[in-house]
Structure 1
Amino acid sequence: MRGADLINLTLPDEILDDVLRRVGAGAGKRDLDACALVCHRWRRLERSSRRSAKLAASGERADDVLRLVAERFPALVDVSVDERLTVGAGGAGSSGSASRSRRTVHSTSPFRRRRRLPLRTDLSVQISPFPLDQPAVDDVTERSCLTDVGLTHLAMGCKGLEKLSLIWCSAISSTGLVRIAENCKNLTSLDLQACYIGDPGLIAIGEGCKLLSNLNLRFVEGTTDEGLIGLVKNRGQSLVILSVATCVWMTDASLHAVGSHCPNLEILSLESERIQNKGVISIAKGCRLLKTLKLQCIGAGDEALDAIGSFCSLLESLSLNNFERFTDRSLSSIAKGCKNLTDLILNDCQLLTDRSLEFVARSCKKLARLKINGCRNMETAALEHIGQWCPALLELSLIYCPRIQNSAFLEIGRGCSLLKSLYLVDCSRISDDALYHIAQGCKNLTELSIRRGYEIGDKALISVAENCKSLKELTLQFCERVSDAGLAAIAESCSLQKLNLCGCQLITDSGLTALARGCPDLVFLDISALWIIGDMALAEIGEGCPKLKDITLSHCPKVTNIGLGHLVRGCLQLESCQMVYCRQITSAGVATVISSCSKLKKLVVEEWKVSERTRRRAGPVLSFLCTGL
C-alpha cells in the first residue's frame, strides 16, 4: 500500500497495542522487531507496553543507562540490575518471547542509534565501555558501578515498579532505597544480593511500600537486626515470602520480630550460623501459615524443630541443611504435626538414622519428593519404609548414601508405582538389581540419573528399556559397565530428549549410531570422555538428531574436523557446544561450527584453536578454557 497509511488512520491506539501484544506473544521476536520499526507511532506504543528489563549496568555511564531506560520505558514493572553481567551475558539469559500481559524488550546499548532499542522482545541493557580483555584500574572501578543516582532516576521514572532486583550493586546505599520507597508505592518484590544497604533503607521500604510481599536478602552488609526489625514492624502483615541468607548480622532478635509481625508468611528461607533455637521457635509460634521452610542453622537443634512440628501444621515443603545437633526426635515431631508434607530435603544431617524416615513415612502419606544427601547413618531400612508407606512418591534423590543396598529398591518398586524421577549419586552398593526392581514397578519413570554408578551395567538398562517406555531424560555419568548393548536397548524403546554418557568408556560408534537412529527428538547430549568414538558417531548424530541444541564432546581424542562438519550440517538448531581436549579438532573445525550454526550462543574451546578471523566474527559466543595451568 505504497503512499497510503490505512492502518494508522483507521486503528486507535488501544487496538494497535493489542495487535502488537499478540505479535509479541505468538509470532516471536523477529516479527515484533519489524513492527517496532514501522513508524514513530508503532515504536511509541511498543515502548509504552514494555514491562520488564534486565540490565547489566557495569559501565562508566551506568547511572545514565538507568535514566534513559526510565525515560523511554516508563511502564516498566519488573527491573533487574546485575553488575556481574558483562557484554553479551544478559541477552543469553533472557527469554526470546513474552506472554501477552508482560511483553519485554532487549538492547545491547541504549547509546547506539535510537531505533535499536525496540529490536528485541526482552530488554537486557549491557554497559561495559572497556574491552573485555582490558582490566579496569581502581579509579575506573569506582566510577563503573551503579549508584544511588541511577536508582533515583529509576524510582522517579518508573513509579509503577512492582519488582526490583539489585545484584552485586556494591555502590547502592540506603539513599537509593529511600527513593524507591518514596516513589514506588506498588513495589511487591525486593531482591537484594551482595549490596551494602544500611538500616534506614530497609526501614524506609517498610514504611513506604505497603504492598511488599516478597523480600530476599543475601549477603546484605551494612545493616543490622534493626533494619529488618524496622521493616517487618511496618510491613510484616503483607509479607508472604522472606529469604535471609549469609547475612552475618542476623540474630534471634530478627526472627523474634518476624514471628511477632508476619502472621501471613508462607515461604521462609533462613541461612545463618548465629541463629539458635529461640529464634526458630519464635518463627514457629508466630508464622503458623508456613508452607515452605528452608533452614541452614548450625546452632539450632531438636527444640527448634519440635516447635515447627507443634505449630506449623500446614507445612508442605521442608529443607534441612547442615544440621549438626538435631536427631531422630526432630523428624518425629515434624512427622506428627506436619501431615501435609510433600517435599523433604535432608542435606548433611549426620545424626539422623533410619528411624527418622520411618516416622515420616508412616505419618506423611502425601510425600511426593524426597532428597537425602550425605546422611551417612541412613541404611536400607530407611528406603524400605518409604516404599511401604508413601505411594504418592514422584521423585527420589539419593546422594552419597553408602549404606543403602539393592534390597531397598524392591520396596520402592512395589509401593511407589507413580515414581517419575530417580537420582542416584555416589551410592556405592547399588547395582543392576536395584534398577531392575525400579523398572519392574515404576513404569511411569521419565527421568533416570546415575552418577558414578560403577556397578550399573547393561542389565539395568535393558530392564529399564523394556518397562519404562516414557523415559525422556537419562544420565549415566561414569557408569563404566554400560556398553553399546544397553544403549541400543534404550534407543529402541525410549524416545530420549536428554542423554548424558560422560565417562562411559565402553560406548563406541555403534552405540551412538543406534541412539541417533532411535532418538530423533534428542535436544541435549553429553558424550565427553568417550575415548573410542570417532567421526562416524558424529555423522550419525548429525543425520538423525536434527533437534539437537546442546552437545558436549570434550576429551574425545578420535573426533576430527570431518566428523564435526557432518554434525553441524545436520544439527542446525545447535545453541551450545563444548569441545575441549579434542586433540584432532583444529581452528578449521572451530570455524566450521561458527559458520554453520547460526543459532549458536556458546562455544567452549581452547583459546589457541581460535583464529583471529573467527574471534572477530563470533567473539560474544566464545568461551575459552585455560589449558596452560
Structure 2
Amino acid sequence: MRGADLINAALPDELLEDVIRRVGGGKRDLDACALVCRRWRRLERASRRAARLAASGERADEVLRLVAERFPALADVSVDERLTAAGAAGAAPRSRRPRQYTRCSSPMQARSPTPYRRRRRLPLSSLALHIAPFPLDPPPGFEGSERTCLTDVGLAHLARGCRGIEKLSLIWCSAISSTGLVRIAENCKNLTSLELQACYIGDPGLIAIGEGCKLLKNLNLRFVEGTTDEGLIGLVKNCGQSLLSLSVATCVWLTDASLHAVGSHCPNLEILSVDSDRVQNGGVISIAKGCRRLKSLRLQCIDAGDEALQAIGSFCLLLESLSLNNFLRFTDRSLSFIAKGCKNLTDLILNDCQLLTDSSLEYVARSCKKLARLKINGCQNMETAALEHIGRWCPGLLELSLIFCPRIQNSAFLEIGRGCSLLRSLYLVDCSRISDSALCHIAQGCKNLTELSIRRGYEIGDKALISVAENCKSLRELTLQFCERVSDAGLTAIAENCSLHKLNLCGCTLITDSGLTAIARGSPDLVVLDISVLRIISDIALAEIGDGCPKLKEIALSHCPEVTDVGLGHLVRGCLQVESCQMVYCRQITSAGVATIVSGCTRLKKLLVEEWKVSERTRRRAGPVLSFLCTGL
C-alpha cells in the first residue's frame, strides 16, 4: 500500500542492522540506506566496520573525535597523513545548494517533501568508506584554525571511542609518539594487526602494545624511528606467543638482538620479512631455530651468509615462500641446504644474488618438485643450464620471471616448453640473447599461457607472436615494450586468435593503424592499452579503438605525434569507461582535445598532460584529476 511503513514498524533494530550488513558493502548502497531516515542512519553508523582517515589538514584531532563518536563499531582503521581534505579518495563532496532532507518513518516517504528545509549532508556511513577532513560539519569555534597534523590527542579519542579496533594502520603520522600508542594499548584489547610506517615511536609505545594487546597477530614496522631493539624486544616478550606475521624494514636500529628475542618468544610465527644492514648470521640463525613454523620468509641482510641460510634449510621445514634480496656473501651451498630441507617450497625469488650459479637452481629443481613461481633478477652468473634444470624437474611451474639475465639463451626454453606445460605467466626483461625461437618453444609447449610480458626484447619479432597466437588461445595480457621488430603481421595474428584484456605496445615503432584496427576488432573486452611512442599511428586507430573497445579504462598515448583532437573525439564517444589517460608530448593535441577528454569521460580519475595545454575552464572543471608533466627541467 502506497505510503505505508512496512519495514520500520515490523523489524526490530537487530534485524534491520543485519539487513544493512547484507547490502553488500558498496558505498553507494550503504549511503542510500543511511539516507532513508534517521533510524536507518543511526543503525548504519552503528554497524560500520572500516574507515580510512586523513591525518593532516584542519582540525585533524577533532575529526578523529567526531568519527569515534559517530562510528563506535569501527574495527579496521587506517590513518594516513599523506591524505588531505582535498585529496583523499572517496571524500564526500559538499553540496553547494541546500537540498531537501526528508524526515520520514519509511523508505517510501523518503521522497516526499517536508515543511522544513535543512542542509543535506552525505553520511559517513559505509562499511568501508574513505573519510577526509572535513566531510563532517566543523564544530562551532573552530573557524579559522590553522592546519595541523594528527597528534596523540586524536589517537586517544579514537582509542576511547572505538574500543573494538582490531586492525590499525598509522602511515606517515609524524606527530604520533609513544603516548598515543599507550592509549591504544590501554583501550583496544582486541587489536590483532598493527602497521606503523614513518612514525616517530619510542620504545615505551611498542612495549605498551605488547603488554596490553595480547591478541596481536600481525606487526608491520617500516621507517619507524625513535625506538631501539629494546622496544621490539619488550613487545615480543609480552605478546610473542600470538604473533603470526612480522615485518621490519628500513629501521636502522634493528640488530641481531631483536631477532634473538623473536626467535625465543615467537614460536608460532609464520610470515617474516626483515630488511636491515645490521643483521648478521647470528640473528637469522636464532630465527630459524626458534620459528620453525615459518611458511614465508623475505630477507635482505647484506652481512648474512651461508651459515644463516643453512640454518633455515635445517630447521624451517614448512617453508613455502622464500625471497632473498641483495645477498653478497652466500653461495650455491646455501641453496643446496634450502633445497634439501624445504621440500614444500612453491615460491622462490632471487634478487641481485651475484655469487649464485646454475648449480643453485639444480639443487632446487631436483628437490623442490612443488615449485610454482620463480623470479630471477640480476643474477648474472646464471646461464642456460639453470633453466634447463627447472624445465626437467618442476612440471608444476606456473610463473617464470627473468630480469636482466644476459647469459640465458634460447635453448633453455626448449626444456621449459617440454616440461612446464602448466605455465601461465612469463616475464622477460632485458634478456638480450633471447629471440623468436625461445618464444616458439614456449608457445608450442605451454598452451595455457595467459600472460606474456617482454620488455626491451630487441630480438623478438613477428615469428614469435604468430606462434603464440596459434598455440596460446587463452592469452589475455600481452606486453611488448620496445620490441622494435614486432609489426602489424604479428599483432594481427594475436588479434585473430586471442581476445586481450591488457595490451602494452609502448615503443613498438613498426605498429601502424592497421595493427591497432585488428586489435580493436578482435579484443572487445580490452581494459588497458598503452600505445605510447608509436610515431606513425593516427586518428584512424583511435576511432577504431573507440568503436571496438567500449570497456577500456586506461589508455596511454604519449609521444604519438600524428594523433589530433579529432581522434580523441572519436575515442571518447565509444570508450565511456575511461578512468586514466596519459597523453604528453603529442604535438597536435591542443587544449580543445584536453577538454574533449574531460567532458567525454565522466569517470576520469587521472589525466597526465602538459600544463600549458589546459585551459582555465578545464582546470576549474577537472582540477583534482589533472597531473602535469614538468617540462621546465
Same fold (TM over 0.5): yes
Equivalent residue, structure 2, for 1:126: 132
Distance 1:512 1:87, change over 3 A: farther
Amino acid of the structure 1 residue aligned with 2:370: K
Equivalent residue, structure 1, for 2:511: 507
For 1:114 and 1:322, locate their aligned partners in 2 and report how far apart those are by CA, in whole Å. 56
Amino acid of the structure 1 residue aligned with 2:8: N
Which of residues 619, 624, 627 in structure 2 aligns to 1:623? 627
For 1:579 and 1:74, locate their aligned partners in 2 and report how far apart those are by CA, in whole Å. 45
CA contact (8 A) 1:46 1:118 kept: no
Give 3-state SS (helix, strand or coil) of 1:229's partner: helix
Please report how far the alpha carbon of residue 120 of structure 1 lies from its aligned counterpart in structure 2 after TM superposition: 5.6
For 1:80 and 1:475, locate their aligned partners in 2 and report how far apart those are by CA, in whole Å. 34
Residues 286-325 of structure 1: pairs in structure 2 closer than 5 A? 286-325=290-329
Residue 359 of structure 1 pairs with residue 386 of structure 2:
no
Residue 115 of structure 1 pairs with residue 117 of structure 2:
no
Equivalent residue, structure 2, for 1:18: 18
Residue 600 of structure 1 pairs with residue 604 of structure 2:
yes
Distance 1:426 1:275, change over 3 A: same
Please report how far the alpha carbon of residue 13 of structure 1 lies from its aligned counterpart in structure 2 after TM superposition: 1.8
Q: Deviations over 1:198-255 (max 9, x none)?
A: 0000000000001100000001000000000000000000000000001111110000
Equivalent residue, structure 2, for 1:390: 394
CA contact (8 A) 1:109 1:125 kept: no
CA contact (8 A) 2:57 2:85 kept: no
CA contact (8 A) 2:50 2:127 kept: no
Which of residues 270, 274, 280 in structure 2 aligns to 1:266? 270
Unaligned 5+ segments in structure 2 are 99-118, 136-144
Give 3-state SS (helix, strand or coil) of 1:59's partner: strand
Please report how far the alpha carbon of residue 184 of structure 1 lies from its aligned counterpart in structure 2 after TM superposition: 0.2
Q: Deviations over 1:582-605 (max 9, x none)?
A: 111111111111111111111111
Equivalent residue, structure 1, for 2:173: 169
For 2:86 and 2:341, locate their aligned partners in 1 and report how far apart those are by CA, in whole Å. 50
Equivalent residue, structure 2, for 1:74: 72
Amino acid of the structure 2 residue aligned with 1:442: C
Amino acid of the structure 1 residue aligned with 2:131: V
For 1:416 and 1:185, locate their aligned partners in 2 and report how far apart those are by CA, in whole Å. 49
> Percent identity over the alignment?
84
Equivalent residue, structure 1, for 2:48: 50
Give 3-state SS (helix, strand or coil) of 1:23's partner: coil
CA contact (8 A) 1:228 1:254 kept: yes
Amino acid of the structure 2 residue aligned with 1:13: D
For 1:17 and 1:81, locate their aligned partners in 2 and report how far apart those are by CA, in whole Å. 26
Amino acid of the structure 2 residue aligned with 1:608: W
Query: Which moved further from structure 2: 46-55 or 510-519?
Result: 46-55
Which of residues 524, 534, 537 in structure 2 aligns to 1:533? 537
CA contact (8 A) 1:457 1:479 kept: yes
Please report how far the alpha carbon of residue 626 of structure 1 lies from its aligned counterpart in structure 2 after TM superposition: 1.1
Equivalent residue, structure 2, for 1:91: 89
Equivalent residue, structure 2, for 1:611: 615
For 2:588 and 2:16, locate their aligned partners in 1 and report how far apart those are by CA, in whole Å. 56
Distance 1:88 1:337, change over 3 A: farther
Please report how far the alpha carbon of residue 617 of structure 1 lies from its aligned counterpart in structure 2 after TM superposition: 1.0
For 1:121 and 1:567, locate their aligned partners in 2 and report how far apart those are by CA, in whole Å. 36
For 2:480 and 2:194, locate their aligned partners in 1 and report how far apart those are by CA, in whole Å. 40
Please report how far the alpha carbon of residue 613 of structure 1 lies from its aligned counterpart in structure 2 after TM superposition: 1.0
For 1:442 and 1:299, locate their aligned partners in 2 and report how far apart those are by CA, in whole Å. 40
Distance 1:69 1:579, change over 3 A: same
Please report how far the alpha carbon of residue 121 of structure 1 lies from its aligned counterpart in structure 2 after TM superposition: 6.0
Aligned residues: 602
CA contact (8 A) 1:24 1:121 kept: no
For 2:86 and 2:153, locate their aligned partners in 1 and report how far apart those are by CA, in whole Å. 25
Amino acid of the structure 2 residue aligned with 1:16: L
Which of residues 188, 192, 200 in structure 2 aligns to 1:188? 192
Equivalent residue, structure 1, for 2:453: 449
Give 3-state SS (helix, strand or coil) of 1:281's partner: helix
Equivalent residue, structure 2, for 1:39: 37
Q: Deviations over 1:82-134 (max 9, x none)?
A: 11123454326xxxxxxxxxxxxx64589x967323476632122389xxxxx
Give 3-state SS (helix, strand or coil) of 2:123's partner: helix
Please report how far the alpha carbon of residue 281 of structure 1 lies from its aligned counterpart in structure 2 after TM superposition: 0.2
Equivalent residue, structure 2, for 1:60: 58
For 2:618 and 2:345, locate their aligned partners in 1 and report how far apart those are by CA, in whole Å. 54
Equivalent residue, structure 2, for 1:275: 279
Amino acid of the structure 1 residue aligned with 2:416: I
Please report how far the alpha carbon of residue 30 of structure 1 lies from its aligned counterpart in structure 2 after TM superposition: 3.2
Distance 1:114 1:240, change over 3 A: farther
TM-score, length-normalised on structure 1? 0.93
Equivalent residue, structure 2, for 1:103: none
Please report how far the alpha carbon of residue 32 of structure 1 lies from its aligned counterpart in structure 2 after TM superposition: 3.2
Please report how far the alpha carbon of residue 155 of structure 1 lies from its aligned counterpart in structure 2 after TM superposition: 0.1
Q: CA RMSD in A?
A: 1.7
Please report how far the alpha carbon of residue 338 of structure 1 lies from its aligned counterpart in structure 2 after TM superposition: 0.5
Residue 412 of structure 1 pairs with residue 410 of structure 2:
no
Give 3-state SS (helix, strand or coil) of 1:217's partner: strand
Residues 117-266 of structure 1: pairs in structure 2 closer than 5 A? 117-118=123-124, 122-127=128-133, 144-266=148-270
Residues 472-511 of structure 1: pairs in structure 2 closer than 5 A? 472-511=476-515
Residues 373-388 of structure 1: pairs in structure 2 closer than 5 A? 373-388=377-392
Distance 1:146 1:252, change over 3 A: same
Unaligned 5+ segments in structure 1 are 93-105, 130-138
Amino acid of the structure 2 residue aligned with 1:47: R
Please report how far the alpha carbon of residue 33 of structure 1 lies from its aligned counterpart in structure 2 after TM superposition: 2.4
CA contact (8 A) 1:376 1:401 kept: yes
